[in-house]
Amino acid sequence: MKKITLILTLIITCFSLSSCEKVYEDMPVITEGEFPFVVEYELNGEKYVISDTVCCTFDGYDKSNPFPFIDYSRTWYQKLKSGNEDKRLLIEFPVNSESLITEGRINVASKVILFYGGGGYYLGDPNDIDREPCINYVEEYQSSENVSHVISTEMSFEQLEKLFGIKVTRFEFASPIENEFKEYND
């Protein structure tokens, strides 16, 4: 009962003090950019190169939050200049492979992929600094017939070599920019 009273008090206070006007995060001054990268690795004696450019664009604000006291946050769009998202795949395992994360679980799909970074990371958004490039091990499994789950785990270069035989020899990404953010005027 105390929780309900507290929540109602917060909502009433919000309406009375600020008319619950949603606030936009500040607008970026630089709204787009291109960031080249190169990843080289060896697998089963073969050498592979992934080279492309991440194209990033400020995509507006996420207005889906129904709560009146939570700000609209910036959203970003990123894609590869080549348009070939498949090149992110380093290795894919057979269907119904055993999980490396949870003993005894069988995965519907599992793979090692390159995450080339988020648009906000490259365009200097202080709220997206944790979206930097990395390599992830991804497992998809079903907990019941109609319920699927996806787990993505960032891997170190040492883990990639030990677990999968992937030896990363080059991992170079353009640095993010320093951006300024100005007050948003609707």
Asked if the structure places residue 86 within a domain, the reply is: yes
- Domain containing residue 109: 22-176
Asked if the structure places residue 139 within a domain, the reply is: yes
pLDDT in tens, 26-43: 889 999 999 999 999 999
Asked if the structure places residue 165 within a domain, the reply is: yes
Asked if the structure places residue 132 within a domain, the reply is: yes
Question: How many domains is the chain partitioned into structurally?
Answer: 1
Give the Å distances, CA to CA, from 9 to 6, 16, 22, 90, 103. Answer: 5, 10, 18, 52, 47
Asked if the structure places residue 6 within a domain, the reply is: no
Asked if the structure places residue 92 within a domain, the reply is: yes
Give the Å distances, CA to CA, from 164 to 21, 92, 182. Answer: 51, 11, 46
Asked if the structure places residue 9 within a domain, the reply is: no
pLDDT in tens, 98-149: 998 889 999 999 999 999 999 999 999 988 877 899 999 999 999 888 899 9
Report field, pTM of the whole predicted structure over 0.85: no
Asked if the structure places residue 11 within a domain, the reply is: no
